[in-house]
Amino acid sequence: MSVNHNKDAALDQALNLFWTKGFASTSIKDLERATGMHPGSIYAAFGSKAKLYCLSLERYALQLNDKRAQLMASAASPLQGLADFILRAHPLSNADAPLPVCFLVKATLESGLDDGSIHDKINEMLTRNEALFEDVFEQAIAAGELSQASNPKKLARQLSADLAGLCFYALREDEPTVINEMITDLADRVRQSR
């Protein structure tokens, strides 16, 4: 197995661990167990726990954006693609996710993140995500799904807030059917945006 493959596999394991436990609650020993790497190897490969966390956030965002792009490419329209993403790929609706919550939202809510580089990375990822939503709404305007008077930035901000709110709610809700209903309602609102 190549070093890059080991590093990629370790990054995937770290992502799942950080997503589940959070940054502050994840010890180097936890990372050692999850990745199969010794502490010295973790530091040599990733630099620090904070850098590994930031790389995990980037990996998460990349994977999520790839899923969104695939769904958008196969959708009949931009708004349908966005609704499909919410219903089929967002962690709120993805049974394969370590937690039914967006890792970026969970990271934002986590206390004990004193490292400025982590805050910067979270803000960068959230801003990038909102810009991707804005692009979809611009495509919807160009396709005639939304009126020319629509404000893509405002719609993207609202969708980001709606998803973050659902993630926050999912952290405290034990009944998945309630969250599923709320996700379906949000996807319907996106489809019917005007």
Give residue for tokens 């959230």.
126
- pLDDT at position 172: 80
111: left (phi over 0), alpha (psi -120 to 50) or beta: beta
Q: What pLDDT is stored for residue 1 in this prediction?
A: 42
- Looking at residue 112, what is its pLDDT? 62
C-alpha distance from residue 81 to each of 2, 74, 94, 137 (Å): 37, 7, 16, 11
Q: What does pTM read for this prediction?
A: 0.87
What lies within 8 Å, CB to CB, of 55 at 6+ separation is 11, 14, 46
> Domain 56-191 - what CATH class?
mainly alpha
Residue 192: what pLDDT? 87
Q: What's the chain's average pLDDT? A: 90
Residue 111: its pLDDT value, please? 65
Describe the chain by its helix, strand, coil percentages, rounded to 5.
Answer: 75, 0, 25
Q: What is the mean pLDDT of residues 4-21?
A: 88
3-class state of residue 185 by DSSP? helix
113 compared with 38, residue with greater pLDDT: 38
Task: Identify whether the C-beta of residue 168 lies closer than 8 Å to the C-beta of residue 105.
Answer: yes
Give 104-150 pLDDT, tens digit per residue: 888 988 866 677 888 899 999 999 999 999 999 999 999 999 999 99
71-100 average pLDDT score = 89
